[in-house]
Amino acid sequence: MPSAFNERTALIVVDVQPDFMPGGALACHEGDAIVPGIDRLLRAHRLRHVVATQDWHPAGHASFASSHPGAQPFQQIALHGQPQTLWPDHCVQGTPGAALHPGIDWSAADLILRKGSDAQVDSYSAFRENHGPHGMRPATGLAGWLRERGVEEVLVCGLARDVCVLWTAQDAVAAGFKAGLLWELSRPVTPAADDATRAALAAQGIALVQP
């Protein structure tokens, strides 16, 4: 289990944006419930390193169902030879739904990492984009940024627990970091995914950590 909240630990707050809140374009189950807790955690300055990710798609992104005639949201297709869930249009660059949630004081964030800006490649993880046309998952540069600051462990929270939060935690381990997930400060697209998420975390030794 990560030794939470020491100087070698970084917090990664994933995609806490209005489009993922109830009533948003791609609402997560109880997504708004995590906002007060994340705000308190950032205001307490318990972590020296804080990264916030921001889903930041151009209009007409390849992951949008609307970009594929006849397709429906949440349908799966093959994109660049890999399974791709098609999503409702969400977090389009410059729209209110793509902003970082205004209920959180983001001044503690050292880095705001925008992801998903390649129109042809989805990007769940803070560490790597999804598979692109050349079969690779391009790095975002976050792993190097953290290592330059002496980070050895990461704690992940945010939205959605079964997609971007999970992929970020898994890729943190793949990049050589210890990882923990702040379960109470994350929410899934649907709670039906929680058992599979817990199993995936356990399989990689990713701890569930209390904030």
CA proximity to 12, closest of 192, 156, 166, 184:
156
How many of the other CB atoms lie within 10 Å of CB of 71? 14
Whether 164 is catalytic: yes
Please tell me the total count of domains within the chain: 1
Q: For residue 66, is it within any domain?
A: no
* CATH code, 18: 3.40.50.850
Q: Please tell me which residue in 55, 115, 171, 178 is annotated as part of the active site.
A: 115
Radius of gyration of the chain (CA): 16
> Which residue range forms the structural domain that includes residue 198?
9-60+90-208
Q: Please tell me which residue in 15, 32, 122, 162 is annotated as part of the active site.
A: 15
Q: Please tell me which residue in 28, 91, 157, 164 is annotated as part of the active site.
A: 164
Q: For residue 118, is it within any domain?
A: yes
pLDDT for residue 7: 82
Q: For residue 74, is it within any domain?
A: no
Q: Supply 8's token pair.
A: 């070698």
Q: For residue 164, is it within any domain?
A: yes
Instruction: Encode the chain (211 residues) as per-residue pLDDT tens digits.
Output: 344 567 899 999 999 999 999 999 999 999 999 999 999 999 999 899 999 999 999 999 999 999 999 999 999 999 999 999 999 999 999 999 999 999 999 999 999 999 999 999 999 999 999 988 888 899 999 999 999 999 999 999 999 999 999 999 999 999 999 999 999 999 999 999 999 999 999 999 999 998 8
Whether 178 is catalytic: no
pLDDT for residue 209: 92
pLDDT for residue 2: 42
